[in-house]
């Protein structure tokens, strides 16, 4: 019994004394210029989650996470048209879904939301445009080149307030012209309805 205990202590000490070396690769950009990254797309690019848009969702959008990684290989400033903290708004002007205990159990329940973020131009953030994240909930590829898509003068239901709130010139600019204003060296594009995506070097 004592001999077994000695063997156990010996092998345990041997294992603990071994230091495993982990070769952590160093991120490299290769021949790609990541200095100016812009993102075009729809809800997925914007960070529309839990049935609405919110600052938390925008920060966890795949494009924003990409920009964070790209910053390690020469990526520069990446701006996002963030909603105010603690607010949310959906395309139907409601709020994000949260889990609550109901009579039927744990279920997603819609919050009241902040519709003024889409209906009241005084809350819009056009003065800081253009942004690098140009994800627009509900957008299709052809909307990205249509000035009227961000024109509140078209009347409710005839324009997209998700773009109007951060367009550089609502009714004049497009998501594409806002993107090109950055002179991007690398961009992402996602149109989920068309099931297409791209990650491409830009052209100066």
The pLDDT of residue 129 is 97
Asked, for residue 197, whether it belongs to a domain, the answer is yes
- Tell me the pLDDT tens digit for each residue of 121-147: 999 999 999 999 999 999 999 999 999
C-alpha 40: how far from chain center = 10
pLDDT at 101 over 70: yes
What whole-number distance in Å separates Cα of residue 154 and Cα of residue 185? 34
pLDDT at 174 over 60: yes
Asked, for residue 144, whether it belongs to a domain, the answer is yes
Tell me the average pLDDT across 76-105. 93
CA triplet 166, 168, 173: central angle to 5 degrees? 110
Asked, for residue 42, whether it belongs to a domain, the answer is yes
The mean-pLDDT minimum among 48-57, 106-115, 189-198 falls in 189-198
Other Cβ atoms closer than 10 A to 52:
24
pLDDT at 9 over 90: no
Number of structural domains the chain divides into = 1
The pLDDT of residue 100 is 87
Asked, for residue 196, whether it belongs to a domain, the answer is yes
Contacts of 118 (CB under 8 A, 6+ apart): 89, 93, 161, 162, 165
Asked, for residue 40, whether it belongs to a domain, the answer is yes
pLDDT at 64 over 90: yes
CA triplet 10, 16, 21: central angle to 5 degrees? 140
Asked, for residue 24, whether it belongs to a domain, the answer is no
Question: Where is pLDDT greater, at 194 or 72?
Answer: 72
Report in angstroms the alpha-carbon separations of 182 from 20, 37, 44. Answer: 45, 9, 21
What whole-number distance in Å separates Cα of residue 27 and Cα of residue 25? 6
To the question of pTM greater than 0.75 for the whole model, the response is yes
On whether the CB atoms of residues 50 and 96 are closer than 8 A, the answer is yes
Contacts of 78 (CB under 8 A, 6+ apart): 37, 64, 67, 68, 70, 71, 132, 133
The pLDDT of residue 59 is 97
What is the extent of the structural domain holding 139?
A: 31-201
Asked, for residue 14, whether it belongs to a domain, the answer is no
pLDDT at 204 over 50: no
Question: Where is pLDDT greater, at 196 or 11?
Answer: 11
Q: Is 2 in a helix, a strand, or coil?
A: helix
pLDDT at 157 over 60: yes
Reported confidence tier of residue 86, pLDDT bands at 50, 70, 90: very high
Asked, for residue 132, whether it belongs to a domain, the answer is yes
Reported confidence tier of residue 203, pLDDT bands at 50, 70, 90: very low
């Amino acid at each position: 019994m004592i001999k077994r205990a000695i063997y156990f202590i010996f092998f345990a000490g041997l294992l603990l004394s071994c230091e495993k070396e982990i070769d952590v690769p160093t991120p490299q950009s290769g021949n790609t210029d990541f200095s100016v990254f812009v993102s075009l797309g729809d809800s997925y690019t914007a960070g529309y989650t839990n049935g609405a848009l919110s600052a938390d969702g925008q920060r966890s959008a795949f494009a924003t996470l990409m920009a964070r990684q790209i910053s390690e290989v020469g990526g520069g400033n990446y701006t996002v048209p963030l909603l105010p903290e603690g607010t949310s708004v959906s395309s139907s002007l409601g709020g994000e879904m949260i889990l609550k205990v109901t009579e039927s159990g744990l279920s997603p329940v819609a919050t009241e939301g902040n519709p003024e973020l889409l209906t009241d131009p005084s809350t819009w953030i056009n003065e800081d445009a253009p942004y690098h994240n140009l994800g627009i909930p509900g957008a299709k590829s052809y909307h990205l080149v249509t000035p009227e898509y961000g024109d509140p003068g078209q009347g409710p239901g005839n324009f997209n307030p998700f773009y109007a709130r951060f367009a550089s010139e609502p009714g004049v600019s497009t998501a594409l012209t806002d993107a090109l204003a950055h002179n991007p060296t690398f961009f992402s594009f996602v149109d989920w309805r068309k099931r297409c995506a791209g990650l491409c070097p830009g052209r100066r």
